[in-house]
Each structure stands twice: as structure tokens, then as C-alpha cells.
Amino acid sequence: MPASQPRSRARDRNNVLNRAEFLSLNQPLKGNQESRSSSRKQSGQAGAAGAQNSNPKERRQSQQLPEEDCMQLNPSFKGIAFNSLLAIDICMSKRLGVCANRASSWGGARSMINLLGITGHGIPWIAGTLICLVKSSTLAGQEVLMNLLLALLLDIMIVAGLQKLAKRKGPYDINPGLLDYLTMDTYAFPAGHASRVAMLSKFFLNHLVLAIPLRILLVLWALCVGFSRVMIGRHHITDVLSGFVFGYLQFRLVELIWMSSNTCQMLISIW
């Protein structure tokens, strides 16, 4: 052990890195450490002061951003399915809007498609039902016409209420017409024309004796009127399909509250 200590001391003296001019390579100077630590403290204090001076709304937004990013990056399966179906519905509705304006591919047939849509409007049907009710002289005819008038009024109120709740706009920026404003049919979901023609066709099929060709024509008329609203760009495909469903439900509602002949006669006498 005593002999090994002089040998180690000799090696330390002979080591070039132990000289004074090379000490800075082995160990950092204390002045540098102190300057670095002071700069870090100053930067930390400046960052803390900036965070204190920042707006509390910005701090809340910065805290919420990671959660929002996580929600966007990890949506639920229902959200993905709903957004995908909605995108397909909008894309297909825009493609089928061949009469949305004069510059469309079928722009020349826009007037004819609008005329077809008028056949399913509520105002002409209400006016025609009132005229037939005034001229009707049979109790059975008056009973059917009074319930038909009730069904038309319920259709307008139910569709207007649902549209006000949904407030969905059509695939194209098309202003509603005067008749649409009268029946409060200003939004897209559900399609008022589709619900009305579905209700009317089901009503006539149940309460009128029609030949088979007339029954087929009645169903085709309802389908054409419904999808004509997609062609002129007023409604999406889902708006029309939901309109058909609501029209059938309205027919079932009218069947449940069907007014008897005595009730109809009492209302006619009051009127």
C-alpha cells in the first residue's frame, strides 16, 4: 500500500489533463454555473409574471384545448356514424338537386317541378276541401271532408312546430315562396309536402273506393311530389323520408280522433 501511493501520485503529476490550463475542460467554472442558474431563475420569473399577467380566459382556454383536441381525435362511434350519414345525405341531396336553379343540368324543367310541388301544397288542399264541404249534401261526404280538413290543419301545425325545433336549412340557399310562408314551411326538416302527400294518399286509400290503377297513380303522385322537393333543392333526402313517416303518423292520429257524423254536423252548423 505505501508503494502504490507514490506511484499514483506520479501518474497524476504526469497526466496532462491535470495541468492548470486544462482544468476548465474537466470541470465547469463556478462563474459559468452561477450565470446559468441566474439566467434560468430570471427566465422562470419572467414566465411566471407573464402567466400572472395573462387573461384568465386565455388560461381557461389553454386548459380546455387538450380536452377538446382529445374529443376531436377520439370521437365516439355514434358521432362518427351520424356525421358520416349526414355527409352522405348532403352530398346525395346536392347531386339530386338538378333543378335547384336555372343554371342546373335540368334547369329548364324547374317550372314543371314547381307546378308538381304545388299539387302537394297545403293551401290549395284546404281551399278545395272547404269548397267541397260547402257543396256536399250527404252526411257521409261531410264527415269525410271534415276529418280531411282536420288532418290538413294538424299537418300544417305539426310540421311547422317540428321545423321550428330542428331549424335545418336545405342543401341550397333557396328562399321559400309565398305559399310556403303562409303554411310556415320555411325550414327543411321535415318536408311539409312529403308529410302532406303521404297523409293524403293514405287517407284516400282508406276512405275512398278507388280502382287499382287509381291507387297506383295516387302512390306514384305522392312519391313524385316528395322527391320533387329534392330536385329543386328545397329539402334533403332524409327530410323527405322523414316527411313520409310523419305523414303516416299523422294519418294514424286522425284515425284515433276521428270525428263522428254528429260532431261534424254540429261543427258545420256553428260554422
First to last CA, the chain: 129
Cα separation, 166 vs 156, in Å, equals: 15
Helix extents (H) in 74-109: 77-96
Our answer to whether residue 193 is catalytic in this structure is yes
- Name the residue among 44, 33, 173, 149 with its Cα closest to residue 100: 173
Identified catalytic residue from 121, 193, 207, 236: 193
Identify how many contiguous H helices and E strands the chain contains and give both numbers: 13, 0
Which amino acid is located at 4 in the chain? Answer: S
For the chain, where are the E strands, in sequence order? none
Cα separation, 131 vs 134, in Å, equals: 5
* Residue indicated by cell numbers 332524409: 238
Q: Which residues are part of the catalytic machinery?
A: 193, 235
